[in-house]
Amino acid sequence: MPHLIQVLGPGCIKCERLAKNVELVTTELGLDCRIEKITDIEKITEFGILMTPGLVIDGEVRSTGRVLTPPQLRELLS
């Protein structure tokens, strides 16, 4: 079953950078996953996110308020 990775944020530069880093790392690792970008504020608040960008992996909030680097993402996803 593929992983679901969600990037939460209104589409700001930091949110876009996190999304690109996620795409880069999942491709490098050859992961079977689906990546969603969630920009709807109501949906974002349902996760309890107060600061964006947020990163949710398989329904679990893993990061808020910062752009994870590719090495940090590799550690989370390995």
Q: Of the listed 7, 15, 44, 49, which one is catalytic?
A: 15
HSE value, Cβ hemisphere, 13 Å, CA-based, for 45: 3
The position carrying tokens 């994870």 is 68
Q: Are 72 and 43 in contact (CB under 8 A)?
A: no
33 is a catalytic site residue: no
Q: Of the listed 4, 11, 12, 58, which one is catalytic?
A: 12
Active site (catalytic) residues:
12, 15
